[in-house]
A and B are shown apart, each in its own frame.
Chain A
């Protein structure tokens, strides 16, 4: 039995303790904003926050989440107000197909929390785990700088 909080709501899980958080939020809770990309922690599409830290939900076993707090992209916009990172993503027209962008945004939000005014090198370090096959990296970088300014 695992007691955890997902997007502000308490949940109890009693399935396979090895099941990754990714499939719990998608299949069980139908929070489909978190994407499946590789299942191996190599692409970042499944990035969520656990206790405020960006993690790959495909590599996070349910057994590790007792009393933990999970935030997914689905609840990043609080009360209908988008997070500054989401607003910056829209201002820069970042997405092409959009599939990886949930993970990109969650990684960027965690980066700005830890490093409010990131350099390009900081962005490289924080975002290199998130693949965008459409190649939107230039706009992701610009959007992160914009969001950093807006928060400052």
Chain B
């Protein structure tokens, strides 16, 4: 085992709260080749005769079992990581079986967020495949009495070309299993020219099952003797029951009982919210029973939360000096010189993840142990949260990870799994907890609301000389009891602007928190990027220059940006900065390619047609987005085309990378156009997809073109980085089409004509 620590600095307070494995962007924790740790649950890879890695095992019949320990929520990771191992092994893909790992620290980090599964486990899976291959080759060489160096591998066989001898992997397993597992540092990887799977299109493992309805999601788990539960949560966070009348609920056929659950206490972490569970013998019965509960709630202090005044206060606050998070040169001195100075305030509301599968879990507590089946992004957090909720050691929690019907960050937080476990312990039988869509919208860990302020000076040549950026938002830190935003929240688009402006200052403050705040796809990048790259377009217009030309000029030739020298303790998405620097040459390149591949500069905007551009680095990946819009006489927006130019280094399964950037374009544009969650007196105003609107077939972008920059760099994130620049480019396109600068989301609330 080796734990590669990164600077935790502003995050170290987390020590006593939850383990780092439960937290977004914490330490990188990658296991060695074979863990000495006892398994929580033995996989077929574990019990296979040849077992060189926790991720891989081979049976004498030649079947290769590969364990994916990261969660499948649509990125294709369940297929991509095994492809990496199978490629190094020179395996026949049709003889590889994928297993989903349970929550178990021996796999290393399992929190499938932060777009880092490939970045952090690419090498671990290469080692798994290469170790097995090396053992098989050694076994063959010994049997043939030839040097191992004369043996090669191809398609599930070891070959000795000189003698024409060949042996299948399966036949070599018994001998190979007797050999020592090579040290990770001693295995060699295939050269890129020999890659058979990596970089090639490959269908996801579950594709046929999805198309035929056989794919098993969390909601599809049924256990013998299981009962169902639907939970009425406190409508305001922290609310407690004054009186409960459950007579009518209990009279519903199929309802067996109600169970009152303790109300959550801060810090909320991932603990259950509390409320009243209605238990019965079918989903429908408990949903009906729940409607008949009569509860008088004492809402508590968070009933003060109403979005409109809260927004006004944030908008005012962000226009005052805040805590400095980055400082380069002296922006004040530059602003004092006069010349062209512009400023603007941007606003983004809260949003819900609204993954298509609502939260659900089945838990079976017996003999001091819990078995859980749930669509979680983070099975180790399930172990910890469930263990804390029922008072057992986390080693006694087996968390089976089903497919996830979407995640987007919500399913990193396993409050619903803990609810099922608490109920199962109380009732002495397996319990399935099902959240309704209304529960999902009302009790999310929300994408936070933010106010962002920008001010810039542009000189007579149209070059920016000073840039001041500020943001105010209720932070994710609050979920863990931190007094304000955590470092990584600022590191996502506030303090890491890669443009070469001589004077830059970034400032920030938290805001009061009245709901649970969580991470949503691309997290703080969304509001920071929407504002920053919208404002960059404003600067270009103020300078009377073409935006692309302005942005390229603001980058210059590009270089590695040393944020540390500017007072920024930059988390860099948990990746070592030496290997994954902030490199504005790569930002420049994606912009250049965007200019070539899109319709940029080919048609004059106006008269209801517009085009907008934005570029953003997030999750160590560089993306430029070009959005085209048509705005009709009624002000309706249509998005005919978005171009996404991506530099994510190396692409494991290019079609799945492409699909992530297609989806990010849809989600980013949908969020910017439509997405809004608001509260009145602490209660969330939206209930379902009629209130919280998301992109649909008729209003989604019609065509997304994804272009890869083959930079040959290490693989970096693809799940999230496609979202932020789309949001800004969309706003810029609408400005180009209509002359209206929409600085407040959702755009649908602004009358465009």
Contacts and interface: CB of A to CB of B under 8 A. Distances in A.
Contact of B403 (A34, A97, A127): A97
B596 interface: no
A109 B210 CA distance: 16
Interface string A54-94: 00000000000000000011101100001000100110010
Interface in B637-689: 655, 659-660, 662-667, 670, 688-689
B358 A36 contact: yes
Nearest to B203: A93
Interface in B397-434: 403-408, 434
B212 interface: yes
Interface in B200-230: 203-204, 206-208, 210-217, 219-220, 222, 228
A23 B283 contact: yes
Contacts of B72: 97
A37 B694 CA distance: 13
B566 interface: no
Interface in B28-75: 72-75
Contacts of B228: 27
B289 to A, nearest CB: 12
B79 to A, nearest CB: 11
A45 B698 contact: no
B354 A135 contact: no
Contact of B214 (A33, A100, A141): A33
A144 B615 CA distance: 33
A37 B437 contact: yes
Given A20-B284, A38-B689, A93-B659, A128 B698 contact: yes
A26 interface: yes
B339 to A, nearest CB: 43
B215 to A, nearest CB: 5
Contact of A74 (B75, B212, B436, B663): B212
A134 interface: yes
Contacts of B254: 16
B582 interface: no
Contacts of B697: 123-124, 127-128, 130, 137, 140-141
A41 to B, nearest CB: 10
Given A32-B213, A35-B357, A136-B659, A90 B207 contact: yes
Interface in B216-269: 216-217, 219-220, 222, 228, 253-254
Contacts of B403: 97-99
A14 to B, nearest CB: 12
Nearest to B702: A138
B217 A35 contact: yes
A99 B698 contact: no
- Dominant SS at the B interface? loop
B204, B210, B354, B666 — most chain A CB neighbours (10 Å): B210
Interface residues of A, number: 58
Given A34-B213, A96-B659, A138-B662, A133 B207 contact: no
Nearest to B201: A93
Contacts of B219: 32, 35-36
B700 interface: yes
B694 A133 contact: yes
Nearest to B687: A40
Q: Which of A35, A45, A72, A128 has the most CB of B within 10 A?
A: A35
Contacts of A118: none
A42 B687 CA distance: 11
Contacts of A95: 74, 204, 207, 210-211
A130 B73 CA distance: 19
B220 A40 contact: no
Contacts of A77: 212
A23 B432 CA distance: 14
B689 A99 contact: no
B186 interface: no
Contacts of A20: 284
B135 interface: no
Given A99-B357, A124-B698, A133-B667, A73 B217 contact: no
Contact of A42 (B207, B211, B688, B704): B688
A97 B208 contact: no
Nearest to B216: A32
Nearest to A104: B697
A40 B666 CA distance: 23
A110 interface: no
B357 A137 contact: no
A37 B689 CA distance: 10
B406 A27 contact: no
Contacts of A129: 696
B690 interface: yes
A73 B438 CA distance: 26
B298 interface: no
Given A97-B74, A99-B405, A131-B356, A40 B210 contact: no
A105 interface: yes
A78 B228 CA distance: 32
B703 interface: yes
B319 interface: no
B747 to A, nearest CB: 17
Interface string B722-739: 000000000000000000
B357 A76 contact: no
Interface of A: 16, 19-20, 23, 26-28, 30-40, 42-43, 45, 72-74, 76-77, 82, 86, 89-90, 93, 95-102, 105, 123-125, 127-141
10 contacts: A23-B282, A27-B282, A28-B282, A37-B437, A76-B213, A89-B211, A98-B74, A99-B355, A135-B695, A136-B659
Given A39-B287, A96-B659, A99-B406, 18 more contacts: A28-B282, A32-B219, A33-B213, A34-B213, A36-B358, A77-B212, A90-B211, A95-B207, A97-B406, A98-B210, A98-B215, A99-B356, A131-B696, A133-B354, A135-B664, A135-B666, A136-B663, A137-B697
Nearest first, the 5 closest Cβ-Cβ pairs linking A and B are: A33-B213, A135-B666, A99-B405, A96-B74, A97-B74
